[in-house]
Amino acid sequence: DAGVTQSPTHLIKTRGQQVTLRCSPISGHKSVSWYQQVLGQGPQFIFQYYEKEERGRGNFPDRFSARQFPNYSSELNVNALLLGDSALYLCASSPQIDNQPQHFGDGTRLSIL
């Protein structure tokens, strides 16, 4: 079975642009979460979606938004990109929204010039 898949793998943008990152969860997983990881730090929670509803939001500005589709895939959108948005963006899925571990995709490495 395929794991969590994310696209694109790498992306280069300039300040002020907008970006959309995509994630397909493991088949049968209904919960998708997004995390941002900057160099030297652990991943930071951005959003969690379950059954197409937002169930959690981290300490990120309103420039960050996300949604989940009926097939449980998800998109993360970031507007008005800043240099500080350069990071590895990770998507994780789990079967339900509960205490089970989350499984991560390979991530999208976003560089802002």
Partner 1 sequence: RKEVEQDPGPFNVPEGATVAFNCTYSNSASQSFFWYRQDCRKEPKLLMSVYSSGNEDGRFTAQLNRASQYISLLIRDSKLSDSATYLCVVNGGDSSYKLIFGSGTRLLVRP
Site string for partner 1, 58-87 (x = CB under 8 A): x-----------------------------
Which is closer to partner 1, CB of 38 or CB of 80? 38
The answer to whether residues 59 and 65 touch, using CB atoms and an 8 Å cutoff, is: no
Q: What is the DSSP string of the chain?
A: ----EEE-SEEEE-TT--EEEEEEPPTT--EEEEEEE-TTS--EEEEEEETTEEEEE-S--TTEEEEE-TTS-EEEEE-S--GGG-EEEEEEEESSSSSSPPEE---EEEEE-
Smallest separation (angstroms) from partner 1 to the CB of 91: 9
Question: Does residue 107 interact with partner 1 by CB under 8 A?
Answer: yes
Stretch that binds partner 1, among 9-17, 35-43, 60-68, 71-79 (CB under 8 A): 35-43
Determine which residue in the list 5, 13, 45, 60 makes contact with partner 1, applying CB under 8 A: 45
Per the document, the length of the chain is 113
Determine which residue in the list 19, 23, 29, 35 makes contact with partner 1, applying CB under 8 A: 35
Assigned token pair, 85: 């948005």
Stretch that binds partner 1, among 19-27, 32-40, 62-70, 74-82 (CB under 8 A): 32-40
| Pairwise CA distance, residues 81 & 72, whole Å | 26
Residues that bind partner 1 (CB under 8 A): 31, 33, 35, 40-45, 48, 55-56, 58, 88, 90, 92, 94, 97-107, 109
